[in-house]
Structure 1
Amino acid sequence: MLRNSKDRISLPGNLRGRSIHLNVIPTVCNLRNMLEKLIAANGDVSQLRQWDKRSFNAYQIEKIKLDIMFSTPEHRIELLKKHILSLHPNEIGASCIDIYLVAFVAQRYGAGKQRFFEYVKRSGISDKENSAHAIWQVGKGDGVYLGILNNDGTVRDWEFFEQWINGS
């Protein structure tokens, strides 16, 4: 694991073999909203809208749905973080990998929305600003909700990222 003076670790360009540039499908649903809708629907996934279902599937929520349904909001976040760490990166969908992509770009190319947009275009992920915006909103929003990213996209919880990268 590479380390630098500013950060605890240097985030690699792939997450345990999963490309952070492929299958980064933009969506407009964030984790918090999806969970609120799931709880309001008493766990009935069929009542979720298509974009909520994409988030549900991206995070493999079915595996922890009952725990999520009966937990406090604070405990829910810890459950989600442990769950993400338990999954191999190839099992997670775009919404979840968007968090890592936002952190990677912030560390390597600079923090903030504009730098992220430039990277998305330059790296070939998408040439559409709306797509870059959707990826940014979901990745940053979900990362902030989980307490692992700051509002500018930089890493807040280095221990989480180190475990995510190492698979431990």
Structure 2
Amino acid sequence: MNTLDSTTFLLPQIHGRSIFNRVIPTVNYLERTFKSLEQNGWFYTNLKPWEKQIIKGYALQDVIHKLRAANQQSKVSIIRDQILKHSANDLGTYPLAIYLIVYFIQQTENNQYKSFVEFAQKHGITENLNSISAIWSCGTKDGKYLGILDDSLNIIDLDFFHRWASITPSSTFKEKLKITVSAPLLSKSSYDSHIACFKASINEAPRFTGVNSLKWSEYVMGKEYDIPQFFNKKFDRNEVWDYCGDNTNTDLDALLIVLSWGGMDRMHAKSLLDNPAPVLDIVRRLRSKKFESRKEAFDYIQDKRKQGLLPGMGIGYFTKLICFLQPSLKGYIMDQWLAKSVNLLLGSPLIHIASKTWVSDQNTPAIYEDFCTYIDGLASEIGKSGFETEEFLFSIGGRKKGLWRGYVVQHY
């Protein structure tokens, strides 16, 4: 946290919104709201009206799945990020209450409640003592929770509000909101039906195998390429990981295994490998563990795609590279079936799907991270690994669909 710079003062307004008007919250605070969410299985729709107000006030309704899987420190970071991403005009009274308390402390060099009562009445905020108490209670409790005030109500992160005041939410962020916030979260009954089917499907123990990798590779590379005879089979997921993890196998062969396992359109693959240098650069970086996070890997590959260097390879396939070539990142495959599964369980279109089948380029590294985080949380709930959970969500397609795949087709 940054120490207080006593020469830099906050203004009595932020983003054009006065902190003396419409700043009285319903008495509630973040820590208590999270306890209520836990008691209600993290179902937003089950919260009391005053609890929903604080969720909306901090714009948290669209990141509840992230908060559910987060530890205390991560929760704080998520909430602070949400504040910084929004104009004060688009948030409720709760973050404004913190700002007002900090403004009061900074201006008066006093952090006593009695003095705040006088300050609130003097500035025309309200004469009502209950309303003043609500501002004080919410502002101080949440201010301490978010690391802006210490336990003695000293300001320890004034810079947070200076950063918030200086940021105008970008059009890029607003565009992202259109993708991620166009449907309500699920009701408990709907979620219970979805999750019950998903949990029942786990007993099927589905195991997807790709097409014959030798035949696929011969078509894409031509018979003049020396394709290992070991390719003459249909690989399952574990065999793909084993092959790619063996550094004696070439980067190109590892790439062919991944793409053939996924059944990539052969003409798309030929287009991609017409100039293999860009995609092989990605393969080398992943296999040598150059990326520190799945989000970083996604960002790097997506940038290559935006430059037109990965013809024929969309997000559904390049996340397969992250999954199989650097599994330590726990980056999951974001193809249409995983995307639809997560969207269905969330009751919100986190992942943008174009033309009902294509995970589009509107999806950002941040969305990919949210997608993977949701799978991590679901894995914890069912007592499985993230990769096992991803495989269960993918299920089995074809004429004889797996239980979960059939459910997704019916309900999405």
**Pairwise same-fold verdict (TM > 0.5):** yes
Which position in structure 1 is the counterpart of 2:57?
58
Q: 1:71 to 1:6 in 2, by over 3 A?
A: closer
Partner of 1:36: 35
Residue equivalent to 1:148: 148
The answer to whether the Cα contact below 8 Å between 1:140 and 1:149 also exists between their aligned partners in 2 is yes
Q: Which amino acid aligns with 2:85?
A: S
Q: Distance in 2 between matches of 1:156 and 1:10?
A: 14
Alpha-carbon offset, residue 80 of structure 1:
0.9
- Equivalent residues, number: 164
Q: 1:45 to 1:107 in 2, by over 3 A?
A: same
Cα pair 1:58 1:94 within 8 Å, conserved = yes
1:108 Cα deviation (Å)?
A: 0.9
Instruction: Pick which of 131-140 and 38-47 moved more.
Output: 38-47
Unaligned runs of 5+ in 2: 169-412
Distance 2:154 2:30 in 1: 19
Change (3 A) 1:82 1:6: closer
Contact 1:58 1:92 in 2 (8 A): yes
**What's the CA shift string for 1:41-91, capped at 9, x where partnerless?**
222122211211111111111121111111111111111111111111111
Query: Is the contact between residue 24 and residue 132 of structure 2 (CA under 8 Å) also seen in structure 1?
Result: no
Pairing of 1:1-168 with structure 2 (within 5 A): 7=6, 9-109=8-108, 110-167=110-167
Q: CA deviation at 1:94?
A: 0.7
Deviation at 1:128, TM superposition (A): 1.3
Flag the structure with larger Rg.
Answer: 2
1:159 Cα offset (Å): 2.6
- 1:149–1:156: 8 Å Cα contact kept in structure 2? yes
Alpha-carbon separation, structure 2, partners of 1:47 and 1:166: 36
Q: Distance in 2 between matches of 1:27 and 1:136?
A: 11
Paired residues of 1:59 and 1:84 also in contact (CA < 8 A): yes
Q: What SS does structure 1 have at the residue aligned with 2:23?
A: coil
Amino acid at match of 2:89: N
Cα displacement (A) at 1:100: 0.1
| CA deviation after TM superposition for structure 1 residue 15, in Å | 1.0
Give the TM-score normalised by the residue count of structure 1: 0.89
Does the 8 Å contact 1:140/1:151 carry over to 2? no
4+ long deviations beyond 4 Å: none
Runs of 5+ unmatched residues, structure 1: none
The 2-side partners of 1:48 and 1:8 are apart by: 42
Contact 1:13 / 1:19 at 8 angstroms: preserved in 2?
A: yes
Q: CA deviation at 1:8?
A: 5.2
